[in-house]
Amino acid sequence: MTNFTSRMNRVQSPIIPMVGQLIRENPGTISLGQGVVYYPPPPEAIEGINQFFNHPHNHQYKSVQGIHSLIEQIVTKLQEDNKITINNYRSIIVTAGSNMAFMNAILAITNAGDEIILNTPYYFNHEMAITMASCHPILVNTDDKYQLSLDKIKAAITAKTRAIVTISPNNPTGVIYSESSLREVNQLCRENGIYHISDEAYEYFTYDGIKHFSPASIIDSDSYTISLYSLSKAYGFASWRIGYMVVPNHLLEAVKKIQDTILICPPVISQYAALGALKVGKSYCKKHLEEIKKVRDIFIYHLRPLEAMCTLVSSQGAFYFFLKINTDMKDFELVKKLIENYQIAVLPGETFGIKKGCYLRIAYGALQKETATTGIERLVQGLKHLI
């Protein structure tokens, strides 16, 4: 079997487990790597689990699309927070996180060899999913502020293009795409008969008065706009694996086939927890956002004086910075040296599709002020001595 090959040979290895191994080999390392928040789920989510146990039949398989009570709650949330109306042309599918929602979307809309446009730097799991589906990620560079380049996106569309993907607020850069840019992408999709896949996992993580915009709120966009959401970030339950997607009705049966094959149904106990969390709503995330903003400000304060050795683009969303480092050193080599010599972990830009230059993604959502200060001081010290 040594000559055996598969489509997985073309898929990059997930970077977070690789960096996680380096962290374990260097005890005491502070991680600025994985994108999680510092706070736990709301008590109402825990109470939702108790409600799950009140019904013995909950231990059986449930609807592939999600339990009715949770879908009803999502309908209300989408209307209030995203200005998206669930009508006769749209459907909601509860998923095991928004990563699964993205894979559902790709499998539902493509054939092998089709193309999906990603804006770089991209979220690495998106590129991996497209490659797994035997499709081709078409990479389009953003501008020097990591904002969308509409002319480049338009030029990248071919007869094989099936979708344009946008992530706002963005992972890995933390930037927020303007409403006008998202509207232009959505119009491009309408004109070319392709889908707009809008990943909105960080919808509540916005700063400096910036507001989130959902492309599916655009009038008459329901037949070609796919929206992806996650509870992992806002409600502090990354491991509970609950997200959801809003799709045109004509994709519902395809997505249900995919979920029934891979998952059968989203984990029902987590759906009950999600129901409790969504009843609390975005106020739970918003009350923790001020603490995250304080950490963000600490990082900006320490990074700005390093202008000679790195470029910091202002980010107004999610909980990431994407640093360009002025060095000839490879980014993963720099990541290893920072962990081994300074006990601070970040992620290399190469895994987000940036092949030229040295870039680092810094995640700050998991830290509170005291640890954040120590972490950023270690990073600054390491960059000063290694660059």
- Which whole-number Å values give the CA distances from 48 to 32, 230, 269, 320, 377, in the listed order? 31, 18, 8, 31, 41
Contact of 233 with 262, CB cutoff 8 Å: no
Tokens of 57: 């039949």
pLDDT over 90 (residue 315): no
Summarize the confidence of residues 336-357 as an average pLDDT. Answer: 95
Beta bridge partners of 164: 117, 196
Q: Is 60 helix (H, G, I), strand (E, B) or coil?
A: coil
Q: Categorize the per-residue pLDDT at 2 as very low, low, confident or very high, splitting at 50, 70 and 90.
A: low
Between vectors from CA 90 to CA 196 and to CA 210, what angle results, nearest 5°? 55
Torsion of CA 362, 367, 373, 374, to 10 degrees: -90
pLDDT over 70 (residue 1): no
Same fold, 7-41+283-386 and 43-280: no
pTM: 0.95
Q: What is the pLDDT of residue 113?
A: 97
Q: Is 351 helix (H, G, I), strand (E, B) or coil?
A: helix
Which tens digit of pLDDT belongs to each residue from 119-148? Answer: 999 999 999 999 999 999 999 999 999 999
* CATH class of the 7-41+283-386 domain in this structure: alpha beta
Q: What is the pLDDT of residue 264?
A: 95
pLDDT above 90 covers what percent of the chain?
Answer: 91
Between vectors from CA 345 to CA 340 and to CA 346, what angle results, nearest 5°? 130
Which tens digit of pLDDT belongs to each residue from 92-122? Answer: 999 999 999 999 999 999 999 999 999 999 9
Where are the chain's structural domains?
7-41+283-386, 43-280
Domain range 43-280, its CATH number among 3.40.50.920, 3.40.640.10, 3.90.1170.50, 2.60.40.1080: 3.40.640.10
Output the average pLDDT for the chain. 95
